[in-house]
Amino acid sequence: MAHRILQIKRWLFTTNHKDVGILYLVTSLYFFIIAGTLALLFRIQLSVPENDFLSAAKFNQAVTNHGLLMVFWFLSPLAFAFANYFVPIQLGAKDMAFPRLNALSYWLLLFGGLLVLAGFFVPGGTADFGWTAYAPLNTETFTPNPGANLTAFGLLMLIASVTVGTVNFLVTIFQLRAKGYKFLGLPMFTWGIFFTVLMMLWAFPSLQAALTLLAVDRILGATIFEAPKAGLIWDHLFWFFGHPEVYIVLFPGLALALDMISVFSRRPLFGRKVMIGALAAAAALSFGVYAHHMFMTGIDLSYLKIHMLTTELISVPFGIITILAIISMLGGAIRLTTPMLFAIGSIAVFIIGGFSGVFNSNPVLDIANRGSYWVVAHFHYVMVGAALFALLGGLYYWFPKMTGRMYNETLGKIHFIISFIGFNLLYFPMFFLIDMPRRIFTYPEWTGWGPLNFMATIGGFIFGLSHLIMFANLLYSLRHGPLADKNPWGAWSYEWMIDSPPSEFNFEGIPIVQGNRLTIAMADGAVTSMESHGNHLSPWPLLISLGPFLFLLGLGLWIAEAVFSLPLMLVGAIVFLYAVYGWFRDDFHERFKFEEPPEYKERWPFTNIHRVKLGMYFFLLGDAVFFAGLLGTYVFMRLEAGNTLPGLITHNILLGLLAVLLMLWSSVFMYVAARAAKLGNKTLALAGISLSIILALSYLVVTGFDWLAVFSAGFTLSDPAIASSATTALSHAIHLIAGLAVAAYLALKVWIRGFTGHVPETIDSLSLYWAFLAVVSIAIFTITYVF
């Protein structure tokens, strides 16, 4: 009994990257089953014309949540399950750079997903505006469903999870490689994850900006997205995120397929560096192609032509990767094991998906493709075909490593064959449904779409049910499969050099790479002491995510006028504050210490930057996009929405200048504190932090006065320009308040305990954060006050 409780505690409080990886894996498969069931439900509805299996409202809810759950809570988390488990091992590291943040990232993801699912149980139904949530359909006027609020909140929690995870992975990849491990030597999978997180860093803040504005609309009663032409700004924000998102889903799978092809044909990848370059080029280009989703919106033709060019250009790197992958097999000793079959299948469907994508790159061809089943077929070939097949292959590939047991090879191959046939039967007919609109819940018989849809439904069931074979196979093998070797595939990335399953810290000693070969230097005292440093369990990541979950659930239900919403919000707030307090307390006593000695790590090109500061740099790079999105919306509203007033008239310019001045001074004093902390001058550091806090507080007060004046002059949030600039100011204030909490805590810690642990570096990172907020306040002033 005690053992069982210990087990539960281990899974809830774990911060070990492999445990978190398993949690990701189980969660993503759980969401896969839910989203897949939704898909089967609406495939039944569509199988014959004029069917009434689902009502229009239920169909729309099913389609919307199928898209959201599959993309955000299944495909990416499945890729990141592997990334969590294997990227640190492939780098030769013992854990992620920030293990607790890693756990936090998982719990935020889980609770975000539960929030979205909770929407189904709210009276009035959940979101039904499609996963693209086009404005103004997503506003309260047109979608009053309270569940839609929960969907927006769930997505915001997901973005929080993604932001934390992104920073964590970037710092890990940059600073935790084993000594002597050069960047170019990393396995393709790690490269794929590297580019994925880079894209995530810049893509998700754009969605965050859009969703923040939407939340202001839906909760505070603003009408930003109901303003004339506001649908376009949603399009820009959404697709600036949405197109990179396709590659975010695709890259880990594609890279994994390349690794598997190389392993199972026992050949090195042909043109490996070119492939890495191609991935880099595609990642960079992915931000400049999004307007091909907007060919029919009537925006400027020359802008569309540029995006037509880039969209066609982005097919070049992918073409190169595909052909090189095929040539890599040439002359190999190919073993057609289950993972290899999935890898080849992934490439095979990716070719079709890629070619059909080129058809979408042209405004003339888009006249037929836009909003039709051609597009549905295309992106399912890419996201389901290429990404999912490769990831399922990865599941088979790494199963022996994760569990220490082999799965049944025959059943695996049967799974591949059935799912491959089912997949093509499901999606290939959709190419011929080029004139059938997406997301219609039924269609008249005279359209003649019946037979093809019926075929697709049959394929859908074959494809969906085929995965039961996999589940049965893997669940049985978990207990009864034959024991697996260290390296059953003869692969060469470093996870295959250690035990299956790996021990808690992966490597018993210090991993060092010499001439492309990993050797384990025998442990010296410094390293072993780190491992014996006790407790790695922390309840705070779980509680810190549970708090917002309860709070947002209450807030969403409050709009649905449920009685227990207020207590829920209260409990949520208390849990959150208690968890933050607990995290700070742990940090105060330095109970949780994990740092691999930097002298055993390859940290190029950030050799001399502390991991906390590097993480802060990456976070701020992403955050800049968030504020750019908000300010861009304000500019759009001022130019396009009509009858909005310039900031010069609505705001008091003097107060604005004063506020900027206060923020700048505050940031200067934080910098002084950081320098003083580095030199070890306690008095000066304390003085700097406290003065900075005082100035930041007065900044908040002065800005608050200014907004009070704006609202008392008769302006309300129904003015879209006021609402969008208020959202920007509010976001900035929330950033600042979070920073103030950390600053106050650090001042306390320095006062009582002096400069222990990595306090000086934390203060240094905080001063960076403060400088960023000062720059943002200048941007807010110049754009929303003067323009």
Partner 1 sequence: MPFSSEYLGSTLLVIVALSVVFFAAAAVALGYYLVFGENLAGLPQNLYTLSLSEYVIESSPEPIIVEVGKPVVFKIVNEGTVKHEVMFVPNLEMMAEMISSMAMKLQRENPDLSQEEIIEQIDKLHDTMMEEMIEEAMKGKAIGEEFMIELEPGESRVTTYTFLEPGIYVIACLELTGTFPEAHAQEGMFNQIIVVEG
Partner 2 sequence: MFHYPFNPSELSETAKLWWDLFGFYLAVALILGAVIYASLVLIPVLYSRSRKSVDEIKPGVVPGDRGKTLYLAMIVLLIIAAFMSIFVESYISVNKLASLIEDEYGVNVDNLEQLQPGEVDGALIIEVRAFQWGWTFIYPNGVESDVLYLPEDRLVIFKVTSDDVFHAFAIPDLRVKIDAIPGQVNTSWTIPEKPGTYRIQCYELCGVGHAEMITKAVVLPQDLFDFWYKSMGEELKGLEGKG
Which of 41, 281, 684, 744: binder of partner 1 (CB under 8 A)? 684
Rank residues 48 and 653 by Cβ distance to partner 1 and give the closer one: 653
Stretch that binds partner 1, among 327-335, 446-454, 628-636, 706-714 (CB under 8 A): 706-714
What is the C-alpha to C-alpha distance for residues 9 and 534, in angstroms, rounded to an integer?
A: 16
CB 474 within 8 A of CB 400: no
CB 486 within 8 A of CB 497: yes
In the list partner 1, partner 2, none, the entry touching 662 (Cβ below 5 to 8 angstroms by class) is: partner 1
Q: Which amino acid appears at position 529 of this protein?
A: S
With CB under 8 A as the rule, give the number of residues binding partner 2. Answer: 104
Q: Does 324 bind partner 2 (CB under 8 A)?
A: yes
Buried b (16+ CB within 10 A) or exposed e, 114-133: bbbbbbbebeebbbbbbbbb
Q: Does 744 bind partner 1 (CB under 8 A)?
A: no
Q: Does 658 bind partner 1 (CB under 8 A)?
A: yes
Residues 709-728 that bind partner 1 (CB under 8 A): 709, 712-715
Stretch that binds partner 1, among 128-136, 288-296, 515-523, 660-668 (CB under 8 A): 660-668
CB of 127 vs partner 1, minimal distance in Å: 31
Q: Does 336 bind partner 2 (CB under 8 A)?
A: yes
Residues 338-397 that bind partner 2 (CB under 8 A): 340, 344, 347-348, 351-352, 355, 358-359, 361-368, 370-372
Q: Which amino acid appears at position 399 of this protein?
A: F
CB of 231 vs partner 1, minimal distance in Å: 23
Which of 49, 231, 288, 757: binder of partner 2 (CB under 8 A)? 231
In the list partner 1, partner 2, none, the entry touching 572 (Cβ below 5 to 8 angstroms by class) is: none
CB 709 within 8 A of CB 719: no
Residues 238-297 that bind partner 2 (CB under 8 A): 262, 265-272, 274, 296-297
What is the C-alpha to C-alpha distance for residues 215 and 258, in angstroms, rounded to an integer?
A: 41
Q: For residue 501, is the peptide bond before it cis, meaning its omega torsion is within 30 degrees of 0?
A: yes
Segment (H or E) for 662:
helix 653-679
Q: Annotate each residue in 413-442 with x if it binds partner 1 (CB under 8 A) or - if it does not, as one string.
A: ------------------------------
What is the C-alpha to C-alpha distance for residues 538 and 522, in angstroms, rounded to an integer?
A: 30
CB proximity list for 423: less than 8 A, separation 6 or greater = 349, 384, 385, 389, 459, 463
Residues 617-656 that bind partner 1 (CB under 8 A): 643, 645, 649-650, 652, 654-655
DSSP letter for each residue of 677-725: HHHT-HHHHHHHHHHHHHHHHHHHHHHHHHHHHHHHTT--TTSHHHHHH
Q: For residue 244, is the peptide bond before it cis, meaning its omega torsion is within 30 degrees of 0?
A: no
Provide the pairing of β-strand 517-521 with 510-514: antiparallel
Which of 72, 342, 398, 443: binder of partner 2 (CB under 8 A)? 443
């499969």: which residue's tokens? Answer: 481
What is the C-alpha to C-alpha distance for residues 312 and 316, in angstroms, rounded to an integer?
A: 7
Residues 40-69 that bind partner 2 (CB under 8 A): 55-57, 60
Stretch that binds partner 2, among 29-37, 164-172, 305-313, 687-695 (CB under 8 A): 305-313
Q: Does 298 bind partner 2 (CB under 8 A)?
A: yes
What are the tokens at 670? 């934080």
Beta bridge partners of 513: 518
What are the tokens at 182? 């050069």
CB of 139 vs partner 2, minimal distance in Å: 9
Rank residues 1 and 654 by Cβ distance to partner 1 and give the closer one: 654
Q: Does 745 bind partner 2 (CB under 8 A)?
A: no
In the list partner 2, partner 1, none, the entry touching 322 (Cβ below 5 to 8 angstroms by class) is: partner 2
What letter would DSSP give residue 361? Answer: T
What is the C-alpha to C-alpha distance for residues 216 and 315, in angstroms, rounded to an integer?
A: 38
Q: Which amino acid appears at position 24 of this protein?
A: Y
Which of 183, 432, 461, 705: binder of partner 2 (CB under 8 A)? 432
Q: Does 534 bind partner 2 (CB under 8 A)?
A: no
Find the radius of gyration of the CA atoms of the chain: 26
CB of 781 vs partner 1, minimal distance in Å: 15
Which of 49, 51, 413, 442: binder of partner 2 (CB under 8 A)? 442
Write out the residues near partner 1 by the rule CB under 8 A. 643, 645, 649-650, 652, 654-655, 658, 661-662, 665, 669, 683-684, 687, 691, 694-695, 697-698, 701-702, 705-706, 708-709, 712-715
